[in-house]
Structures are given as structure tokens and as C-alpha cells.
Amino acid sequence: MPERARIRIFDTTLRDGEQAPGFSMTAAEKVHMAEHLEELGADVIEAGFPISSDGDFTAVRAVAAAVRTSAVAGLARAVTGDIDRAWAALSAARRPRLHVFLATSDLHLEHKLRIDRATCLSRTRDAVAYARRHTADVEFSAEDATRSDLAFLCDVAAAAVEAGATTINLPDTVGYALPADITRMFTAVRARVGEAVTLSAHCHNDLGLAVANSIAAVQAGARQVECTINGIGERAGNAALEEFVMTLHVRREALPFDTNIVTTRLVPASQALAATVGIGVAPNKAVVGANAFAHESGIHQDGMLKHALTYEIMRPESVGAAGTRLVLGKHSGMRGLDARCRALGHRLDEVELERVYRQVTALADRSKMVSDDQLAAIVDGVQTRASRPRVTPASTSRQEAAWR
């Protein structure tokens, strides 16, 4: 068995996640979520972008004061004013981290920053060196790394390390990369900066590849992954923390990596975030969605009742979910129906079960799903009719005589 490497989880729900339209949080809400993230086991909690507003400065400062075990990061552009503002917000943290970023792609340098590569290198060195005057824990991010010239990106990463950066983050800022691109980039940067510095991945989900690209990054040498609860974030969001962590957990034989995440806290953290921002997750969302452990198909229900591994690759309890749900719908079978009836305290014979089944599927054709209350009413109706006295042959003859 290969030695298992430790992957740090850098949670940016409160910073990058909050930047998504409709997901902003007050200082109190950020502190509340930071408590969940700390219970979850996040190694680093990025609390915000202090220079962006007085409110965000206050929120970062509140989170920094409240968090006890996780490191707390504040984001800053590669300018002294941003760095000073971030440090002022982080100064009360037990484990502060300054996170400095600067774009490195020619597209961003020319059209956004309007500077050349030489200026980018100079600003990188100066900003990281300045941040190191405040703290030894400095992370440098090369914005739009995946669309940067690879040789120049390696030069920037080396300059940041020489100036004192302890973590180099290589973001797929616009979700453009394929896993092969990520592998090539991390392999090249690792060869240039050596093993002493931590490489970090920050992947966006514009093409639905954020988690796959994060997996490729750790396979290529990254030892920190930046992600968010429920995958929230700019545009299509970030790599979903719960999906990345459970991929490592479920596929342990193929992925020799561990995290400090308490997986049974994943669903509670997801639900806390949804309640805080007022936006829930899609029912089919991996790991934490309402349907992640729900089964309607009769074939699936039969398999689940015989052995859970037939259709579930992880136990719902392992992520903090209540358990498997066998949902009654038009695709359900007799075995699933019988199991649901028994769970509700009903023991039906074959004739009763067949009658209930016909009514359940007829109702499901109209209403999609059948609730426990609806099922109980159907069962009660079937059993009530079955308990009525049967008409004797003699009485039947008398009735027939009367009809004649």
C-alpha cells in the first residue's frame, strides 16, 4: 500500500462562495458558518476580502476572533493597502494567513491589469515580501493560472517562493482546464519550486470539472484543495467540498490521500449554509442532496433491501444523512412497497398488498410520489374493506330472488 498523504482543506465558502449573487452573509452569519466549518475540520477558513467593504472587514475580524483551531485567511490583492487591511482584520486570529493574489495570464495582464510580465514578477516579489513582514503564513495565488504561459507561471511561482510564500495556489479561475491540463501544470510547477512549498488547487466548475480537476491536482502533487460547501461560488461555483472529500473517502484504494474532515458533519454543514443564505441544494446534488440516498425504482429498492452496496457506494450515516429512503412512486415495486408498509407498522397479506400496490401506482401516476400519510390512508381503506362481513350464500340467494 502506498503511503497516504494528507490533503489540507482550505474552505472558501465565506469568501469565494459568498461572492455568488444571492449568497452574501452578515458578520454574524459568517461567524455561525465558521463554527460549522471548524467542527467539520477545515484546515483553513478563508473569511473574506477585507478591503472590499467595511462590512467584510468587520466579518473577517469577527471570524478571526471566534475561530480557535482552524487557520483564518484574508484575501488581498498584491498591493500594500490591501495587505495592511487584511492583516488588520486578521490580527486577532490564533493562526492568521495572508492570501495574496495577482493574475498571471497574458489575457489578464494585458486587458485587465495593463502591465507586462516583468511588472507582474516584480509585484509578486514585492507583495509577498511585504506580507511576510506581518506573518510567516503567506499564500500566493496566480489568478487565471490555467490560461497562463506555463514557463512564465513557473517563474512567478518561483519568485513568490523566494520572497517567502509558503503556499502557492494555482487556480483554474474560469473553470477552463481539463484534468490533463491540471496534471501538466502542477507537475511543472512542482519541479520548479521543489517539495518544501505547499501547492494548492482552486478549481471552478464552469464545465462541471471542478472536483475532477481537484483530484487531478492532488495526484500531481497538490497538498491543499480550496473548495466550498455545496460548491457555491462565482458563476457555476467552486469544487464542492463534500464531493471532493467523499471521493477520497470512497475510493481509498485508488487515491492514497486523507483529510481532516469529519464526514458525519457534511450534511449538517450543507443544511446550515442553505438555511443561512436561504438557497437550498438541488435534490440530485451529490452527497448532500435530498435524493442522494433515495430510491424509487423497484429494481433498485429490491437490491437495496437485499444488500445496500448494490446501489449505494457510501452509507448515508457516514456523511450525516438520516438514512436511506425508499420513495413510493410509479416506478416502485411490490418489495419496496411491502418494506415501506412494514416500516409504518402494517403487515399485509398477498391479496392486500396487491390491492394497495394497484392504488399506490395509480396515485403515483397522478401525483408523482406517494407520502406516508397517503399510503396509510390507502392501507386503511383496503383493510377496512377486507374486514367487512362476507355475504353468505343463503343471503345471496335471497337477494337474487328479490332482484328477480
**Residue 128 to residue 357: CA distance in whole angstroms:** 68
Q: Which residue is listed with cell 496566480?
A: 142
- What pLDDT was estimated at residue 383? 86
- What pLDDT was estimated at residue 391? 40
**Residue 276 to residue 103: CA distance in whole angstroms:** 32
Q: Which of these, 339, 327, 380, lies nearest to 356 by C-alpha position?
A: 380
Q: Which residues of the chain have pLDDT under 70?
A: 1-2, 386-404
For 5-277, which CATH class? alpha beta
Strand segments, DSSP code E, in 104-221 are: 138-143, 167-172, 198-203
Sign of torsion over alpha carbons 33, 34, 39, 45: positive
Q: How do residues 96-126 score in pLDDT, each as one tens digit? A: 999 999 999 999 999 999 999 999 999 999 9
- What pLDDT was estimated at residue 392? 41
Alpha-carbon distance values, 97 to 59, 137, 199, 252, 282 (Å): 16, 5, 15, 30, 33
- What pLDDT was estimated at residue 387? 60
**Residue 37 to residue 73: CA distance in whole angstroms:** 13
- What pLDDT was estimated at residue 386? 64
Domain boundaries, the chain: 5-277, 294-387
